């Protein structure tokens, strides 16, 4: 029986916007295909994990105050995380976690929360506390040379700069900054994005893209994933793309 | 003179609205407030003013307090229809005052939106404030819970009135320390109940000590993050309790406070917290326990808050759930009921609901007990269907309908017991659709 090992970072802290749903969707789509999903979690106070022993690392978004507490903890693992990324282990980073992997986060008061500095982008909050990028968002993404739409919800005050490879092109919504054309950050084995929803719940193609990458890397062979019954997902996508894209014209 | 004129005009408008058969909601208050935002100063109020705030349970608790006072023969003015922002409360005052702004009542009892406490009570006297709980709620509209709590904390720094606080919510009981001079702090609590758990079952907020940032230790969780907690570092959490509910019995819908048994029409742990708050408040005003006992047994709400109906011979229980905790409480009640049943979940994403529906992933749909079928509806019927399917519930037994009329017809195509959960803007249309089958 095939298996995937997933490390879920700070599930008790980075869980503000239902991001845990991403883990549930991964588990669901793995188990439906008879693939064992091993999900370990790590949070403050737990024994140090070895990031290199996993196939997929996931982290979500949290409340500002709690996020600054965990930034200090995460930085202890910087070298191990860098090594895992170099080894091609897949990282899915949402919202707060996306920001934490950059150079720094400058908050509303101008205080700097240092990031892991794994990537060169950085994030700065807008001075006006009330101004946030909030709303439904649809982006165009290319996965394995196939263009598809990714649907989600963004809610962030931070504006992320210096992105070299965006995850997608914004059709509806803001993206990395207010009124941006680009959303998120994308490498062969990294997706960092502001999209909640949870992200994977409405984007089965994206979920399968991640699963396929992880399995191919782990078992070093071409993998063709067995198709699943996505009736609800397809109905949902059609309804929401129509609704969001038409309301923005 | 200006205020006199405002009140006069609002009274005339109210009279016209009445003839037209309209309730008016916030309308009068909004007009008057836009005209003079200091109008609250004009009212002459000599009776106690009581306010209830929380994320969940405001309407239930507010209406129960008002009902108990009324049963005790007191004259009560209250916003029982749930218009809980400053304009809604102003509407209530305008309808019930004399032209000189005099309010003739024994008690004013208001439910107040969490965000509006500092605004409303800037110019209006407050004698007793009840705070039940803080949960995540429409994050895209309200922002994070913490910023809301900080606003109330700021207001409480100069407040010296009675403060009735849920001792088992770390984000509520912390507010006792906002003003160290205030000696009128009354904590309420509920003893560990049958379905309390060692680990948290549903999304919650109380993870870190608000005073020293240490991770809080919990002896047990009643629901969400409500439970017996303590900070291992600074010992926060050791409160001396004013009223505690003991011997909670959900089958009999009963509990005890100070050795007196109370029966109610509601069977959830969450309502027992609300009623313990109610008992705490009315005891501060010397209402006889006999009267409380009798009134609580009679008290009910017919507005889709744990409302029980018989529709086409099927027992139907409707409950509002506008956030994860509200939904989890409804599912707790469903799972604590051994009968076979079907669930209808109606989820809208209108402005008043919050456009972000990702909160449904914080609802615990694991281990649904004896649920034979689930119908979903609302503008996000498919989202909730995907959510339920992913939790492991058989997708062949899930029936999504964007159209509410079709969903309700589908629900009543069988004759088992029905549980209906609807979010904010979905509740009344759903209720109406269901009642039309009666």
What are the tens digits of pLDDT across the range B405-431?
999 999 999 999 999 999 999 999 999
Q: Is the pLDDT of residue A210 over 90?
A: yes
Q: Is the pLDDT of residue A248 over 70?
A: no
φ, ψ at B87 (rounded to 5°): -70, -35
Q: Could you tell me which of B176, B174, B166, B202 has the C-alpha nearest to residue B328?
A: B202
Q: How far apart are CA A14 and CA A88, in angstroms?
A: 24
Identify each DSSP E strand in B237-370 by its residue range: 241-249, 254-257, 260-263, 307-311, 314-320, 341-346
Report the residue from A18, A65, A235 with minimal CB separation from B360: A18
Distance (Å) from the alpha carbon of A85 to chain B's nearest alpha carbon:
29
Q: Do A45 and B215 touch (CB under 8 A)?
A: yes
Listed in sequence order, the residues at least 6 apart from B432 whose beta carbon sits closer than 8 Å to its beta carbon are none
Placement of tokens 């900070």 in the chain: B231
Q: Is the pLDDT of residue B154 over 90?
A: yes
Q: Is the pLDDT of residue B143 over 80?
A: no
CA angle B27–B28–B33, rounded 5-degree value: 100
Distance (Å) from the alpha carbon of B424 to chain A's nearest alpha carbon:
19
Q: How far apart are CA B184 and CA B159, in angstroms?
A: 10
Question: What is the rounded average pLDDT of the residues B88-104?
Answer: 92
Q: Is the pLDDT of residue B144 over 80?
A: no
For chain A, say whether B437 makes contact (Cβ under 8 Å). no
Q: How far apart are CA B12 and CA B221, in angstroms?
A: 52
Distance (Å) from the alpha carbon of A233 to chain B's nearest alpha carbon:
7
Residues of A in contact with B391 (CB under 8 A): 24
Check which CATH number belongs to the domain holding A102 and give it: 3.40.50.880
Q: How far apart are CA B65 and CA B50, in angstroms?
A: 9
Q: Is the pLDDT of residue B54 over 60?
A: yes
Confidence label for B203 from pLDDT (cuts 50, 70 and 90): confident
**pLDDT, averaged across chain A:** 94
Q: Do A18 and B213 touch (CB under 8 A)?
A: no
B80 close to B19: Cβ distance less than 8 angstroms: no
Domain ranges, residue A165: 3-247
Test mutation, B147, B390, B396, B399, chain A, max A CBs within 10 A: B390
Is the pLDDT higher at A35 or at B10? A35
Is the pLDDT higher at B157 or at B14? B157
Of chain B, the percentage scoring pLDDT greater than 90 comes to 76
Query: What is the DSSP secondary-structure string of B65-129?
Result: HHHHHHHTT--EEE-TT---SHHHHHHHHHHHB-TT-EE--SEEEEE--GGGHHHHTTTS--SEE
Question: What is the rounded average pLDDT of the residues B179-208?
Answer: 91
Residues of A in contact with B215 (CB under 8 A): 44-45
**pLDDT tens, B260-290?**
999 999 989 999 999 999 999 999 999 999 9
Q: Do B361 and A13 touch (CB under 8 A)?
A: no
Task: Name all domains of chain B by residue range, CATH numbers in brackets.
Answer: 2-298 (3.40.1190.10), 307-435 (3.90.190.20)
For chain A, say whether B279 makes contact (Cβ under 8 Å). no
Of the candidate ranges A12-21, A25-34, A142-151, B253-262, the one whose mean pLDDT is the lowest: A12-21
Distance (Å) from the alpha carbon of A146 to chain B's nearest alpha carbon:
24
Taking only residues 320 to 339 of chain B, the set having a beta carbon closer than 8 angstroms to any beta carbon of chain A reads none
CA angle B17–B21–B27, rounded 5-degree value: 40
Q: Would you state the pLDDT for residue A108?
A: 83
How many domains, in total, are found in chain A? 1
Structure pTM?
Answer: 0.87
First-to-last C-alpha distance (Å) of chain A: 49
Within B186-300, residue ranges assigned H as helices are 269-284, 289-298
Identify each DSSP E strand in chain A by its residue range: 3-9, 36-42, 56-59, 90-94, 104-106, 112-114, 122-125, 133-143, 146-156, 158-161, 168-172, 182-183, 185-187, 190-193
Question: What is the rounded average pLDDT of the residues B349-355?
Answer: 91
Q: Would you state the pLDDT for residue A211?
A: 98
CA atoms within 13 A on the CB side of A168: 26
Question: What is the rounded average pLDDT of the residues A189-207?
Answer: 97
Cα separations (Å) of B272 from B296, B301, B331, B396?
11, 15, 16, 37
Q: How far apart are CA A173 and CA A150, in angstroms?
A: 12
CB atoms within 10 A of CB B179: 18
Q: Would you state the pLDDT for residue A249?
A: 46
Question: What is the rounded average pLDDT of the residues B196-217?
Answer: 86
Q: How far apart are CA A89 and CA B46, in angstroms?
A: 69
**pLDDT tens, B377-406?**
999 999 999 999 999 999 999 999 999 999
Q: Is the pLDDT of residue B24 over 80?
A: no
ipTM above 0.85, yes or no: yes
Residues of B in contact with A44 (CB under 8 A): 215
Interface A–B counts its CB contacts (< 8 A) at 87
Report the residue from A17, A65, A232 with minimal CB separation from B389: A232
Of the candidate ranges A64-68, B70-74, B163-167, the one whose mean pLDDT is the lowest: A64-68
Placement of tokens 């106690």 in the chain: B48
Question: What is the rounded average pLDDT of the residues A54-80?
Answer: 88
Listed in sequence order, the residues at least 6 apart from B232 whose beta carbon sits closer than 8 Å to its beta carbon are B214, B215, B216, B217
Q: Do B215 and A18 touch (CB under 8 A)?
A: no
**DSSP conformation class of B215:** B
Q: At what angle do helices B381-390 and A231-247 cross, to 10 degrees?
A: 150
Q: Is the pLDDT of residue A129 over 80?
A: no
Report the residue from A21, A64, A196 with minimal CB separation from B144: A64
Q: Do B402 and A239 touch (CB under 8 A)?
A: yes
Q: Would you state the pLDDT for residue A246?
A: 86
Q: Would you state the pLDDT for residue B215?
A: 87
CB atoms within 10 A of CB B329: 23
Question: What is the rounded average pLDDT of the residues B350-369?
Answer: 92
Q: Looking at chain B, which residue has its C-alpha nearest residue A237?
A: B382
């Amino acid at each position: 029986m095939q298996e995937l090992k997933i490390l879920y970072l700070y599930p008790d802290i980075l869980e503000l916007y239902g991001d845990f749903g991403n883990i549930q969707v991964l588990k669901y789509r793995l188990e439906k295909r008879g693939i064992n999903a091993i999900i370990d979690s790590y949070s403050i106070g737990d024994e140090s994990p070895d990031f290199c022993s996993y196939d997929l690392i996931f982290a979500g978004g949290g409340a500002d105050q709690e996020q600054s507490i965990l930034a200090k903890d995460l930085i202890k693992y910087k070298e191990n995380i860098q090594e895992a990324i170099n080894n091609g282990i897949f990282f899915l980073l949402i919202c707060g976690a996306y920001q934490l992997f950059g150079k720094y986060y400058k908050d509303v008061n101008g205080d700097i929360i240092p990031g892991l500095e794994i990537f060169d982008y950085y994030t700065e909050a807008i001075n006006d506390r009330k101004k946030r990028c909030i709303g439904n968002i649809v982006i165009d993404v290319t996965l394995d040379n196939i263009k598809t739409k990714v649907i989600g919800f963004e809610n962030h005050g931070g504006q992320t700069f210096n992105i070299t490879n965006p995850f997608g092109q914004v059709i509806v919504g803001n993206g990395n900054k207010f009124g941006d054309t680009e959303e998120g950050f994308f490498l062969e084995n990294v997706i960092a994005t502001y999209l909640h929803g949870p992200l994977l719940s409405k984007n089965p193609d994206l979920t399968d893209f991640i699963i396929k990458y992880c399995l191919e890397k782990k078992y070093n062979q071409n993998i063709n994933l067995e198709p699943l019954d996505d009736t609800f997902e397809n109905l949902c996508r059609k309804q929401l793309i129509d609704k969001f894209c038409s309301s923005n014209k | 003179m200006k205020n006199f004129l405002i009140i006069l005009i609002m009274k005339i408008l109210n009279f016209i609205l009445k003839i037209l058969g309209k309730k008016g909601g916030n309308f009068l208050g909004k007009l008057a407030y836009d005209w003079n935002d200091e109008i609250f100063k004009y009212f002459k109020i000599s009776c106690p003013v009581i306010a209830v705030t929380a994320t969940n349970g405001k309407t239930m608790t507010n209406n129960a307090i008002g009902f108990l006072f009324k049963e005790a023969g007191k004259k009560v003015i209250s916003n029982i229809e749930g218009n809980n922002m400053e304009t809604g409360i102003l509407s209530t005052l305008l309808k019930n005052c004399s032209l000189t702004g005099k309010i003739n009542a024994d008690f004013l009892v208001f439910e107040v939106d969490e965000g509006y406490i500092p605004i409303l009570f800037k110019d209006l006297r407050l004698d007793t404030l009840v705070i039940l709980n803080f949960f995540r709620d429409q994050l895209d509209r309200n922002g994070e819970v913490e910023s809301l709590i900080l606003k109330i904390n700021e207001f409480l720094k100069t407040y010296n009135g009675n403060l009735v606080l849920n001792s088992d919510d770390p984000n509520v009981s912390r507010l006792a320390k906002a003003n160290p001079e205030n000696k009128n702090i009354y904590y309420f609590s509920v003893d560990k109940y049958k379905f309390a758990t060692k680990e948290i079952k549903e999304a919650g907020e109380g993870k870190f000590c608000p005073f020293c940032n240490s991770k809080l230790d919990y002896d047990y969780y009643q629901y969400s993050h409500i439970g017996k907690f303590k900070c291992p570092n600074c010992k926060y959490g050791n409160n001396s309790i004013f009223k505690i509910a003991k011997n909670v019995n959900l089958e009999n819908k009963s509990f005890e406070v100070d050795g007196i048994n109370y029966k109610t029409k509601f069977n959830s742990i969450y309502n027992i917290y609300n009623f313990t708050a109610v008992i705490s408040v009315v005891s501060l005003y010397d209402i006889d326990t006999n009267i409380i006992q009798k009134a609580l047994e009679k008290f009910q709400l017919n507005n889709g808050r744990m409302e029980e109906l018989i529709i086409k011979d099927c027992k139907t229980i409707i409950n509002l759930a506008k956030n994860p905790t509200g939904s989890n409480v409804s599912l707790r009640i469903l799972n604590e009921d051994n009968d076979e049943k079907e669930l209808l979940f109606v989820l809208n994403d209108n402005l008043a609901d919050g456009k972000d529906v990702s909160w449904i992933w914080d609802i615990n749909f694991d281990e649904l007990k004896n649920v034979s079928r689930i119908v979903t509806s609302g503008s996000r019927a498919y989202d909730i269907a995907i959510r339920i399917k992913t939790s492991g519930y058989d997708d062949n037994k899930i029936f999504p309908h964007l159209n509410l009329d079709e969903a309700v017809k589908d629900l009543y195509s069988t004759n088992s017991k029905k549980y209906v959960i609807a979010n904010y803007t979905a509740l009344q249309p759903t209720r109406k659709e269901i009642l039309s089958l009666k």
